[in-house]
Homo-oligomer: A and B are copies of this chain.
């Protein structure tokens, strides 16, 4: 009855997730989008709306994938120190796969877009908060002594700030030996 789509929506969003992650919102043009997705300009507008809507969907996908995975990883780690090791381990692994240093799309959105787009600001805060909550649960469940001696909520919030700072520093091309210090210190921080 209808002409079928030539493209896979999820595949397109994954490609745009990567592109926006690397280059930000402003430095990706709709011409770039066409090249990256192999879609015609008009088809993109027909399928996704405008550039901002496309960015929003890509960012939400990133959140589900990366922050969702981080929360799960923390939840299923045997205790907070190993949760932190696992979390930073995946970040380091990604830096190896593609010699570039990408940092974190959510953090980039916080800097570039959140101040001028309340919807983006909300998404970013929600994802940060989810990470903090995961740290907090982990502490309360597996490190009650640490949680008690240090104010668990404050500590969880700082662990999120540390993770964000790590990703910003990674994006500047800072040496891995320096980056490693951050995760080591974070581990030490939650080790009774």
Contact = CB atoms under 8 A, between A and B. Distances in A.
Interface in A14-73: 22, 24, 26-27
Chain A: interface secondary structure?
A: helix
Contacts of A181: 151, 153-154, 157-158
B111 A151 contact: no
Interface in A68-109: 100-101, 103, 107-108
B172 A157 contact: no
A112 B107 CA distance: 11
A112 B24 contact: yes
Interface in A129-188: 150-151, 153-155, 157-158, 160-166, 168-169, 171-174, 178, 181-182, 184-186, 188
